[in-house]
Structure 1
Amino acid sequence: MGNGIWRAGALRDGLVVAAAAAATVAIWSLLPVDAWLRGFGAWATGLGVYGPLAFGAIFLVATLLVIPCTPLTIAGAVAFGWWSMPIVLAAATLGSLMAFLAARSLLQDRVRRIIDRRPGWKATADAVGDGDWRLLLLMRLSPFVPFNAQNYALGLTDVGLGAFLLSTVLGMLPGTVLCVYLGVIGRAAGQEGPVHWLSLGLGLAATFGLVVLTRRRVRAKLRARGESRTPTEICAGT
């Protein structure tokens, strides 16, 4: 019974990832995404020494506003190559910390009202809020829970500052490396050749593998703590 449920959940996760990949390809084909990325890169590099600062500031604001930062990370890699990685990590960590502390102080009541209207976010935070940094890290790696939204949700829990920072940096590292890698490929290639599509396919395969591995480990951890639902099921409200 348990294996059947897990297989059904894994199949659902696979379908979600496949749908996301198909949507990405469709958007890339129908919209001038490549032109937008290169336009952003030209704008950022045109600012000279202030370009990295401007990019970091934009990334920080996006983190605070709970805006998905994957396109921005790729755009930064198109502009600055691998040098965008420390900028992304620093800006995202600072933005996450600011959101976390704001949820514990100035914005506590407002964040609590928002979280209370989103049972999935609240249940997810409650499931790991008093856990150690390893359980928190697995949740941070989960692609089914908005990373930037977690910053505010976790601010309402008892998780320690050290565990939050460690899980934040380690949790964002795999996705950041992948996005920067794809951006560097686009920056170097300049055309959609076989190497480009092979690298993109490997990136999507790595993402799918991360989804499956994360789901399995988080489920085991939550079961050990008496929570029978997976993060996917929690967020879906099931």
Structure 2
Amino acid sequence: MSFTCTSALNITLLILLVATIVVACLTLPVDKILKDLLVWIDSNLGPWGPLALIAVYIPLTILAVPASVLTLGGGYLFGLPIGFIADSIGSTVGAVAAFLVGRTIGKSLVVSRLKDYPQFKLVTIAIQKSGFKISILLRLAPFVPFSLLNYFLSVTPVPLGEYTLTSWLGMMPLTLALVYVGTTLKDLSDVTRGWGEFSKTHLPWIISGLVISDAW
């Protein structure tokens, strides 16, 4: 009975958290807040800026807030290779944090949302047979939402170490592309428009991801 009560409490808390996130994303200027945060990092933290950028990824990823502004900002503030290293580490650490949340306190809610989808069962079976390959292909597939994939994979049999490695490798091409676009921006305020600029070259990455997926 205690397990049932604990599970119900966890699900209730997570539902409230999700509702808060949705309301915040709809009502708050998230991109502007992130831009202001980047300005603060640039003005106050000096050489500690890349570490702060990495840390910010963790709550954003757990809360499923799109972090493309951070990635672009990392490119603008720190350039290559520092911006790429910081963004790559940050996105990977954030993905691991979300994975751990989904595998522990959020497991009941995630499973309840996915169990009726046949695709979930098929992917779970595929991961049991070839976890590394399937995990990295899912990361390379640009039509799979980054934040949702963290929680999706958390309730599959993929080991934490394998998940971490495939997430890092699979996110690397898109991270590098965004960081590069960030280095070409003329002003930090442009990071909120950088995604639109990047989307002009996004199609080739989608095609590349599909080609790689088919080849594997």
The TM-score with structure 1 as length reference comes to: 0.62
Query: Hey, what's the Cα distance between the residues in 2 that align with 1:133 and 1:181?
Result: 28
Which residue type is aligned with residue 127 of structure 2? G
Partner of 1:57: 55
1:42 corresponds to 2:39? yes
Q: Is 1:215 aligned to 2:210, yes or no?
A: yes
User: Match of 1:43, as an amino acid?
Assistant: W
**For each residue in 1:124-179, what CA deviation from the matched residue of structure 2 results, as whole angstroms up to 9, or x when unmatched?**
74364322312321211111111121111111111122321121011110011000
Between the aligned partners of 1:61 and 1:189, the Cα distance in structure 2 is 22
> 1:85 touches 1:180 (CA, 8 Å); kept in 2?
yes
Task: Report the TM-score, using the length of structure 2 for normalisation.
Answer: 0.67
Task: State the 1:91 CA deviation.
Answer: 1.8
Amino acid in the other structure paired with 2:49: G
User: How do 1:72-91 residues align onto structure 2 when only pairs under 5 Å count?
Assistant: 72-82=70-80, 83-91=82-90
Paired residues of 1:128 and 1:135 also in contact (CA < 8 A): yes
* 2: CA distance, partners of 1:95 / 1:159: 17
1:165-216 CA distance string (max 9 Å, x none): 121011110011000100111148999xxxxxxxx57x844x3222123224
Distance 1:148 1:217, change over 3 A: same
Give the direction of change, closer, same or farther, for the CA distance of 1:160–1:189 in structure 2 (3 Å limit): closer
Counterpart-to-counterpart distance in 2, 1:66 and 1:190? 23
> Relative contact order (C-alpha < 8 Å, sep 6+): which is higher?
2
Q: Which runs of 5+ in 1 are unaligned?
A: 1-32, 192-199, 222-238
Quote the RMSD (CA, aligned, Å). 3.3
Q: Is the 8 A contact 1:55 1:76 kept in 2?
A: yes
Where in structure 2 are there 5+ consecutive unaligned residues? 1-30, 191-196
AA matched with 2:42: T
